[in-house]
A and B are shown apart, each in its own frame.
Chain A
Amino acid sequence: MKSPEIFVVVAAYNEDKRISKAISDLKSHGYQNIVVVNDGSRDRTKEAALASGATVLTHPVNLGQGAALRTGIRYALKAGAGIIVTFDGDGQHQAGEISRLIKPIIEGKADAALGSRFISKGAAVNIPRSRKLFLKAGVVFTRLISRIKVTDTHNGFRALSRKAASKIEIKINDMAHASEILDEIHKKGIRFVEVPVTITYSEESLSKGQKTSNALKIVIRMINKKIFGG
């Protein structure tokens, strides 16, 4: 049986200093179909990604990570992807862990493999206490609102089978898309597993990544989606 084509989608906003390293890491592990969605960056993210050998899709204006993933997933599906991996461009994720992440999908045990830094063998390196608390609160909130039992709700390292990626509708443009994806997985009965992954925090990724102050925004977004569906 022919193995499914793996596409790695990287949403990037002002990542010119880190994107090349992330792409090289992916390439060194044998991933050739790398799609970088340059989400209206004002720096040289596009040039850096192109020079590193990725396919680049450019949003003329910044829409948010959710919208960037939607664009990347649409492109990958159109290009015939069998498995789509979402991967951060800021060096938080490790390409070496993709093979472990996609294994349950290849074996037909699940259609979505969700990376978790909080289950056994997973790790969150250099995670600040406030961030950990915020993420744990996110888990409780997601269990309440989406009724999906996961240990890590805002982890961008995930793999989706073609079937799952076609079913999941990302409507939220901003960071709240991570909760929305989980909500969609539960709502559409997509088989999922959690896979331990390592998330490495650096000063740069912390300054750019999910802000603890965004929590309220995410909560409002998700409640709004639950009530009005928008």
Chain B
Amino acid sequence: MTPFSILLIVLGVFIIVFSRLNLSWNKLKKESYLLFSAGGLVMIIVGLFPQLSFAAASLFGIQRGSDFLLYLSVIVLFYLLIRQALKTEQLESKISRLVENVALANPEKQKQKAPSQDKKQEKNKKAS
């Protein structure tokens, strides 16, 4: 087993354990947990059976298994980036609506003093 295979296995186990813990702490959605766990599992499998990556690489016409893994990870990361950007946009839009509705629900205007009140105050001043 090569040092790279060991690294892949350790990272895979770490990702699965880390995402499982976050799921139990309600910091991660089930959908994301499954996605990360699947990624971790692929890493462990490739670490244990590197010949699988060679086979998959040749299937796609790529010569080296490590190149295949690199291309695959770029594609996955790009997908995750787009997903994250869309989510951020949605959140921004929701925040905008919320902020606007808060503002519209609370219009403020300084109360004008009633003229009678002013007269009373003047009278009081004079009396004192």
A residues apposed to B, CB below 8 Å: 37, 46, 50-51, 53-61, 63, 67, 70-71, 74-75, 78, 173, 230
Shortest distance from the beta carbon of B95 to any chain A beta carbon, whole Å? 7
A71 to B110, CA, bound (A): 20
Q: By the criterion CB–CB under 8 Å, are B103 and A61 in contact?
A: no
Contacting residues, chain A, for B102 (C-beta < 8 A)? 59-60
Closest to A36 in B: B108
A76 to B109, alpha carbons, bound, how many Å? 14
Report whether A56 and B95 are in contact in the complex, using a CB–CB cutoff of 8 Å.
no
* A residues in contact with B89, CB < 8 Å: 230
Contact B96 A63 (CB under 8 A): yes
Chain A interface main SS type: mixed
Query: In the docked arrangement, what's the CA distance between A149 and B122, Å?
Result: 60
Counting from the closest, the 8 A-B pairs by CB-CB distance are: A57-B103, A50-B110, A56-B108, A71-B100, A55-B109, A59-B99, A71-B103, A59-B103
B109: A residues at CB distance < 8 A:
50, 54-56
Task: Determine the residue in chain A with the shortest Cβ distance to B98.
Answer: A60
A75 to B108, CA, bound (A): 12
Question: Is the CB–CB distance between B110 and A51 below 8 Å?
Answer: yes
